[in-house]
Amino acid sequence: MSGWVVVAGLGPGSEGAVTPEVSAALEAATDIVGYIPYVARIAPRPGLTLHPTDNREELRRARHALELAAAGRRVVVVSSGDPGVFAMASALFEALEGWTAPPPDIRILPGITAMLAAAAAAGAPLGHDFCAINLSDNLKPFALIERRLRLAADADFAMAFYNPRSRSRPDGFARALAILRECCGNGRIIIFARAVSTPDQQVVTTTLERATPEMADMRTVVILGNSATRQVGPWVYTPRGME
Ligand code: SAH
């Protein structure tokens, strides 16, 4: 039987947010490849081999998936959220560029990305134009992050921030908050959504003035409103139109 590679998004956490086509691919798989906590979400069963690996191993992991598929295995590479958002789908295509053998059958199956699950938990803060920025400077210089923050603020986009803060990068998020205060003012609404769609979910709405770096960690996606974003009861929303 010929092998294949599916790169699948497991959604933000809850089983209900895994799409039926991703569940079907997981059931058909012989091998699951991915970052340790994501592979841990897959129930072991006879005939299924789990290959959990550390992060920062993305390209090697992608090559491994191609090799397994070339050997006839049915491989699912798992990502949290959506596999095309700061995740494994791009890594697979990077690996494919250096792949000289005939490519195996490849499919990318989307999932609910963290910012959309977080936005739904808070209300509708992404109801107008928005952008997503990865605040990790592992793969790009901080100067580029700063430029994008300033330009997005200037264009009055709402913004979603992935990978806001980690132990290896304790200071970057404080710098990002300082830039945003300078560009957007102290009163701008900001949402810290942690572990959305898991039992640990916590959603905190505050203003840039009150926001502190400690409010974010690697399980948090941060949403900054645009200039029209406001609260109605417990909800935060951004109106659909702007004058
Ligand atoms: N592919 C993933 C993103 C991977 S980058 C997706 O589409 O969601 C990892 C970052 O995603 C984390 O640092 C955090 O900012 C965000 N994230 C992932 N799952 C999350 C969740 N359940 N709740 C809040 N943020 C989450």
Distance 13 CA to ligand 1 centre (A): 10
Distance 204 CA to ligand 1 centre (A): 16
Q: Which mutation among 80, 82, 168, 191 tests ligand 1's pocket best, with the greatest number of atoms within 8 A of CB?
A: 80
Distance 183 CA to ligand 1 centre (A): 25
Distance 111 CA to ligand 1 centre (A): 12
* Cα Rg, the chain, nearest whole Å: 19
Q: Which mutation among 79, 86, 166, 223 tests ligand 1's pocket best, with the greatest number of atoms within 8 A of CB?
A: 86
Domains in the chain, start-ordered, CATH in brackets? 4-112 (3.40.1010.10), 115-237 (3.30.950.10)
* pTM of the predicted protein model: 0.96
Q: What is the DSSP string of 24-69?
A: HHHHH-SEEEEEHHHHTTSPP-TT-EEEEE-TT-HHHHHHHHHHHH
Q: Which mutation among 173, 220, 224 tests ligand 1's pocket best, with the greatest number of atoms within 8 A of CB?
A: 220
How far is it, in rounded angstroms, from Cα 242 to Cα 128?
Answer: 8
**Could you read off the pLDDT tens digit of each residue along the chain, which spans 243 residues?**
689 999 999 999 999 999 999 999 999 999 999 999 999 999 999 999 999 999 888 999 999 999 999 999 999 999 999 999 999 999 999 999 999 999 999 999 999 999 999 999 999 999 999 999 999 988 899 999 999 999 999 999 999 999 999 888 778 999 999 999 999 999 999 999 999 999 999 999 999 999 999 999 999 999 999 999 999 999 999 999 987
Distance 243 CA to ligand 1 centre (A): 33
